[in-house]
Structure 1
Amino acid sequence: MFDVAVIGGGPSGAMAAERLLELGHDVLLVDPGNRIKPCGGAIPSRTLRDFAIPEEMLVARASAARIIAPSGREVEMRIGDIGFVGMVDRATFDPYLRERAERAGARLFVGKLAGLEERSDKTLLLTLTATGADPASAPVTFSARMVIGADGANSTVRRLMFPPGKRPPYVFAYHEIIESPPGGEVHGFAADRCDVIYDGRISPDFYGWVFPHGSHTSVGCGSGVKGHDLRGATENLRHAAGLMECKVIRREGAPLPLKPMRRWDNGRNVLLTGDAAGTVAPASGEGIHYAMLCGRLCADAVHTSLETGRASALRQARRLFMGAHGRVFLILGIMQAVWYRNDRFREKFVSMCADPDVQRLTWESYLNKALVRRDPLAHIRVFLKDTLALLGIRAGGHDPVA
């Protein structure tokens, strides 16, 4: 009998397991260990501080982002001296986090959840199958007082323990990890810059990206539009970046949730975290930092519930997360709904990104994981420019944001 079983050993599940161990609980951590989530791999410099991630885990640092409009217009947004965007490769980053949890005392089971039943005493019976096991071999069973579902957008925990249809909206993300060009630079590519492409031909409702990972590079895009050719769009991205001759290391695709669920717990003994709970930022698709934070908050909520015997304590995880980041998620959701709807608006959005106030507030908010409050006049200026751009009004005969 474990105190807690954590299903899924990505950033959120591994952080939840590590935190629970710090709080003195027996933890079972379950992960198949045979899959790499498609991910651009970007994390703010704050993530290293908040979660004690050694810089050796970074495969690259980015000091700027280049925003590209449908017309081909480019806007470079340099970060300056306030931080950087770190790049991790999920093929090495996730195993590192699982190993950290295991060293802290977690029992790691390499396999996946096949069944989850609630007993009359409210404890849970888990049926697990080992990765690579003989199909004829018997499944393994464990018991736990609580379960944290950190098993991704298509969460088995959510499917088994929550009402049907309870899942967040999502886009489907696809990317290719390729070898970076020799020497680090070719025409249209820079080894220290993230490219973000807003173009309906690449994605009719999201965006495409070229993110350098040192010796490798992630090139991909996402879309919620059924039938959109993500592979073809990714090929076009590689061509535009001068990366067609680079060898493909692996191809990956998966759903990417874009809105936190209204409820993360089942009211008794199960709590969702990370992608399973939908904690991926709208508009940007950023999820690693939020997943790791969510994992810690869920661990604290489970600890409180176990200590007090109150299942209602499980709700504190979502309450605290949304209290800290709900406003950012709301603003990003509105931004995606307004500016990503067609190429005319995408063009205006990229024009806005040329504005110094927009760039400064964007980077400070991203790096600090909070809305910038110390410069209200800058927010007013951005709001006015945003409104003018939305209405197609030019101030004084000039582009209001150029």
Structure 2
Amino acid sequence: MDKGDMQADAVVVGAGPAGSSTAHYLAMAGLRVLLLEKSAFPRDKVCGDGLTPRAVAELVRMGVDTSGWARNTGLRAVGGGHTIELPWPETASLPNFGLACPRAELDAALAAKAQESGAVLRENVTVVGPILHERSGRVIGVKAKSAEREPLAFKAPVVVDAGGVSARLATAVGREKAMNRPMGVAYRTYFRSGRSADSVMESHLELWKGKPGKSDLMPGYGWIFPLAGGIVNVGLGSLSSTAKATGLDYRAMFKAWMANASSEWGFTEENQVGRLRGAALPMAFNRKPHYADGLLLVGDAGGMVSPFNGEGIAYALQAGRLAADAIAQAHSRPTITAKDRALAAYPAAMREELGGYYSLGRAFARLIERPRIMHMCVAHGLPRPTLMRLVMRLLSDCYDRRGGDWMDRLISALAKAAPKA
């Protein structure tokens, strides 16, 4: 498709992991795909930059070149006066390693992969709203503007909202977020550190205002993810079982945590690289339906962040793959009714894959949003390696959906028994 062409088989709005994954798989299926991005690459996004084995598996499927990215072998959990290191599990469906890569680099690589596959990327294009069919109200394209504020219009029988937490298109057609679903908030920055070559990702399950055990316990958790090039991503997050604002002062929390962090990491003002930035994490399918009337939601636009750990990239990539499959099938159908039947397979597939797991995550969110309960769980759980291996698989979604060992089968059974979110 020529870059000047305003007509496509599918328009994808947002070139983050969800949008680029969707565009890649659609182009691989032979469809004319237009991928619209409001910024220009490389551009930064607030993220922990950690890629779990499930995210790595999706990158492998796409054929993304990850050479030069920091590889990690597992997770170090710190809390309750204990520290435990847990290797990523050996499973048939997932690799036994994770990766870490700054989002500026990751997103640029994914967008380049979509282009390599045949999608047309247009940068510095801001989508301002949907184009609706005047009689049916079906979404048949998007209105946009260029960097020079030139009005633009792009038409397609299918539109994908991959525009992140704002979900501008979804909101414009009345798909509001569900206030009873969990919402996370994350703040992160970067530091130069002599421990940047650490081979594990570190998770702090408790955050204290002062000395651990002798000061106030703050809500939330922290992370330290080593990156290549002598840099580490350091951040904290909080989890609420509803979408109501927490009212927490995250900058003050971060400052208090850093003041008491181990000096081995070198978290000083002189070593800080970039400012502290925050973002909301929409969780547990908090915006639905994921398909209706020509518009699909993928990634953060559909609330696909895990309530267990704030992970969104793996599910964004997965959603793009499943959405593209449904769109490609619909493309071959002769009538609107038949196309909608094929497109309905996408939300059904997402619900089957993650609905029960996310329902478990919602129960987890209600439990750990209370710092004292979290402290009790951490203090009694961390000293028990077998229990922690099970918990790690559950929280990181590093288990085989089909088969596996007894831990995998137990988690699968719990997810299948839980109501589909």
Residue type matched to 1:52 in 2? G
Residue type matched to 1:237 in 2? W
CA deviations 1:152-211 (Å, max 9, x no partner) are 1111111112344567642222111222x13x26xxxx7223222233657855422111
Secondary structure at 2:157 match in 1: strand
Instruction: Report if aligned partners of 2:220, 2:371 keep a CA contact under 8 Å in 1.
Output: no
What is the aligned counterpart of 2:29 among 17, 23, 29? 23
User: Paired residue for 1:197?
Assistant: 204
Distance 1:279 1:48, change over 3 A: same
Alignment of 1:141-160 (within 5 A): 141-160=153-172
Alignment of 1:86-125 (within 5 A): 86-110=99-123, 111-120=125-134, 122=138, 124-125=140-141
Alignment of 1:29-178 (within 5 A): 29-34=35-40, 35-45=43-53, 46-56=57-67, 58=69, 60-69=70-79, 71=80, 73-79=81-87, 82=90, 83-110=96-123, 111-120=125-134, 122=138, 124-130=140-146, 133-134=147-148, 137-165=149-177, 169-178=182-191
What is the aligned counterpart of 2:234 among 206, 215, 219? 219
Q: What is the Cα deviation at residue 78 of structure 1?
A: 2.4
TM-score by length of 1: 0.82
What is the aligned counterpart of 1:326 among 352, 355, 372? 355
CA deviations 1:233-287 (Å, max 9, x no partner) are 2223333143124122343321101211463345220000001111111120111
Instruction: Report if aligned partners of 2:206, 2:375 keep a CA contact under 8 Å in 1.
Output: yes
Instruction: Report if aligned partners of 2:291, 2:344 keep a CA contact under 8 Å in 1.
Output: no
Secondary structure at 1:328 match in 2: helix
Residue type matched to 1:11 in 2? P
CA deviations 1:54-109 (Å, max 9, x no partner) are 23152x2222322232x5x1322220673122112101010111011112221211
Secondary structure at 1:56 match in 2: coil
Distance 1:326 1:346, change over 3 A: farther
Mind listing any 5+ residue stretches in structure 1 that lack a counterpart?
A: 384-402
User: Paired residue for 2:3?
Assistant: none
Q: What is the Cα deviation at residue 337 of structure 1?
A: 1.7
Instruction: Report if aligned partners of 1:113, 1:126 keep a CA contact under 8 Å in 2.
Output: yes
Alignment of 1:2-13 (within 5 A): 2-13=8-19
Q: Give the Cα separation in 1 of the matches to 2:319 and 2:98.
A: 20
Distance 1:377 1:86, change over 3 A: closer
Q: Give the Cα separation in 2 of the matches to 1:170 and 1:100.
A: 31
Q: Give the Cα separation in 1 of the matches to 2:139 and 2:272.
A: 50
Instruction: Report if aligned partners of 1:221, 1:234 keep a CA contact under 8 Å in 2.
Output: yes
CA RMSD of the aligned region, Å? 2.9
Instruction: Report if aligned partners of 1:17, 1:106 keep a CA contact under 8 Å in 2.
Output: yes
User: Paired residue for 1:270?
Assistant: 295
Alignment of 1:242-257 (within 5 A): 242=263, 243-244=267-268, 245-257=270-282
Q: Give the Cα separation in 2 of the matches to 1:351 and 1:102.
A: 50
Secondary structure at 1:281 match in 2: coil
Q: What is the Cα deviation at residue 363 of structure 1?
A: 4.9
Q: Give the Cα separation in 1 of the matches to 2:49 and 2:156.
A: 32
Distance 1:5 1:88, change over 3 A: same
User: Paired residue for 1:283?
Assistant: 308
Q: Give the Cα separation in 1 of the matches to 2:162 and 2:11.
A: 10
Q: Give the Cα separation in 1 of the matches to 2:257 and 2:62.
A: 33
Runs of 4+ off more than 6 Å: 377-381
What is the aligned counterpart of 1:312 among 336, 341, 352? 341
Identity %: 24
Mind listing any 5+ residue stretches in structure 2 that lack a counterpart?
A: 1-6, 91-95, 210-216, 414-421
